[in-house]
Copies of this chain bind each other. A is one copy, B any other.
Amino acid sequence: MSKVKDQYADGEAARAWARFIGDASRRTRHYGAFLRRLLRARGAERVLDVACGTGVDSVLLLEAGFDVTSCDASDQMLKHALRTRWARRKEPAFDRWAIEEANWLTLPEDLPDARDRFDAVLCLGNSFAHLPARPGPDPQADQRRAIANFWGCVRPGGALIVDHRNYDAILATGATPKSCFYYNNSVTDIRTSVVYVDGEAVEVAMDYEVGRGDGKSVEAVREESQKAKSCFRLTYYPHRLDDFCALLRDALGPVAGHTVYADFRPTPGYTHGLEGDGLGLPDLE
């Protein structure tokens, strides 16, 4: 059985990513409120976070009182989650945190008890787009399987929430909006590569180079970054909004409801909520 490749396998990317994202609490304040409102509006209690990474979102949900199972294919990412859980083991909320290594394509085997069990399954943070096209005649077969595996963990009447960046906008320009960003006092150059096969975009790669900003040129940051090994590449399948809606239909057949949230215009992306009961996901904002 094929597996999702772990882009964070060497630990270096996990560390660079942590440096790059910096103070998680600031970044996720707005985002977390959205997510909690959405889950509470549906009365969700048991949540599966299938792309927990270092556990940032999962911790927000635990703190908000949810019962959380977190999984990720990257054991390098999970190390951080495991460390956090141990450090906060005396807080009762953290007793309700299950952390498992699991691959989306083998979810039924990796999480044998998860079937039909969760009020909500989350795949957030642009994680789904890490799943690449499979070479060959059916490039999106793995993606459909992963979506179906996620849905298999949703209890009847529960919801699946999956997001992706606004790749329509990225593909329109072929470049990340500005080539230089300031996050947490570090200046960063992002080089964007797009691979088209027979006219269809099938991969976007972003080469991040993270350095200290002190009025340095992009070139200086690049060189420094390469020396410090703080450059890393992340690759994505560039889901266009219409194509992703079609992918969900192909993978799941008819579902009771499908709501699309576009959090910021024109980027960064879209959040899809799929429900099993037709009560409707809340109309937030």
**A contacts, CB < 8 Å to B:** 75-76, 79, 82, 85-86, 89, 101, 137, 173-175, 179, 191-199, 219, 222
New A-B pairs, 13, CB < 8 Å, besides A86-B86, A174-B199:
A75-B75, A75-B76, A82-B82, A86-B89, A174-B196, A175-B199, A191-B198, A192-B198, A193-B195, A193-B196, A193-B197, A193-B198, A194-B195
Which residues of B have CB within 8 Å of A137? 219, 222
Copies of this chain held together in the complex: 4
Q: With the chains together, A193 CA to B197 CA distance in Å?
A: 4
Q: Would you give 21 A-B contacts (Cβ < 8 Å), ordered by A? A: A75-B75, A75-B76, A75-B79, A82-B82, A89-B89, A137-B222, A173-B199, A174-B196, A174-B198, A174-B199, A179-B198, A191-B198, A192-B197, A192-B198, A193-B195, A193-B197, A193-B198, A194-B195, A195-B195, A195-B196, A196-B196
Which residues of B have CB within 8 Å of A198? 174-175, 179, 191-193
Which residues of B have CB within 8 Å of A179? 198
Q: With the chains together, A83 CA to B85 CA distance in Å?
A: 12
Task: Tell me the minimal C-beta distance from A198 to chain B in angstroms.
Answer: 5
Q: Give the nearest-CB partner of A82 in chain B.
A: B82
Task: Tell me the minimal C-beta distance from A217 to chain B in angstroms.
Answer: 10
Q: Give the nearest-CB partner of A204 in chain B.
A: B196
Task: Tell me the minimal C-beta distance from A59 to chain B in angstroms.
Answer: 16
Which residues of B have CB within 8 Å of A191? 197-198
Q: Give the nearest-CB partner of A78 in chain B.
A: B79
Q: With the chains together, A86 CA to B219 CA distance in Å?
A: 46
Task: Tell me the minimal C-beta distance from A181 to chain B in angstroms.
Answer: 14
Q: Give the nearest-CB partner of A197 in chain B.
A: B193
Q: Give the nearest-CB partner of A195 in chain B.
A: B195
Q: With the chains together, A175 CA to B202 CA distance in Å?
A: 14
Task: Tell me the minimal C-beta distance from A224 to chain B in angstroms.
Answer: 14
Which residues of B have CB within 8 Å of A75? 75-76, 79
Task: Tell me the minimal C-beta distance from A202 to chain B in angstroms.
Answer: 8
Task: Tell me the minimal C-beta distance from A77 to chain B in angstroms.
Answer: 12
Q: With the chains together, A197 CA to B176 CA distance in Å?
A: 10
